[in-house]
Structures are given as C-alpha cells and as structure tokens.
Amino acid sequence: MAEFLTQGGLDKLKKELERMKTDGRMEVAEQLRQAIAFGDLSENAAYDAAKEAQARLEEEIARADDIVKNAKTITNEKTGKVEIGSTVFLEKEGEKVTYQIVSPTETDPAGGKISYSSPLGMAMLNKKEGEEFYFETPSKKFKCKILKIS
C-alpha cells in the first residue's frame, strides 16, 4: 500500500534506510562477533541479544524499504483546502498554532508535524480558510478555526 510522504520526509527516510543498511548492519555484526567470542552459544545472553537486535534491524530495513518503494510524493497543489502537505495556521481554543499535515511516518508533534490520520489531522482535512470545526480527544472537545493554509 502506498504511503503519502513529503519530499523532505522521503529524502529523510531514504537517508535513514541507507544508514541502517551500512552502519546499522556493521554495528550488529560487531555485536555478534563479540558475543561469539564469549564461547558457548547455547547459554550466551549477549549472543541472544545481538541476534534479536539483528532481527529488529532487518525488520526496520524491510519496512522502510517497502515504504520507499511504494511512496507517493505529496505535491501541494494549493486547492484552497487543507490536504496532506499543507501548513495550517490554526486558532485552537484561543491559542494560535501551526501544523503541517504529514504522513504517519513523518509525524513529529513537537516539531509541528501531525499525521493526516490523527484526530486533529482528520478533522482539518478538506477544510477551507476561515472555517470553524470541532475535534475531540478522549478528554476534551476543542473548537478550532483555520486562519490560513499554505
């Protein structure tokens, strides 16, 4: 299944994938060599941990590789509506905040990047400048107004 990514997000993922394939694999190989040097592999906790690390790394590589191969790069076409890739200037409960709508892979709430599949992201999609809407979290209902879309 295709995942929608910004060009910056795709570039970052490609760089991380390359790092995992080179440096990551070399680090795990070194851990395995050190663990093997301890001797008896049947009761070697360091070896078991290194094998688990290797399995996790290979799963991460496969997942990232799949995303890169199937990624659809977002082209923000300025439709006047909030879409994936939009930067939204929002008034939320009287506070002005800015979010970029991104894929779940690129999410960084502290950096102002929220997923289109998050409650707020879903509530904003296809809204226009000046439009008011509500969105709910498990603990609160928020009133929001879209001030600007870029």
Residues of the chain with pLDDT > 90, as a percent, come to 63
Determine the pLDDT at residue 128: 95
Across the range 44-50, mean pLDDT stands at 87
| pLDDT level of residue 21 (50, 70, 90 thresholds) | very high
The answer to whether the Cα torsion of 66, 121, 119, 127 is positive or negative is negative
| pLDDT level of residue 1 (50, 70, 90 thresholds) | low
List pLDDT tens digits, range 102-121: 988 889 999 999 999 999 99
List pLDDT tens digits, range 77-102: 677 899 988 999 999 988 999 999 99
- Burial label for 28, CB within 10 Å (0-12, 13-18, 19+), is buried
Determine the pLDDT at residue 22: 96
pTM more than 0.75: no
Give me the domains of the chain, ranges plus CATH numbers.
Answer: 4-73 (1.10.287.180), 87-149 (3.10.50.30)
pLDDT at 26 over 90: yes
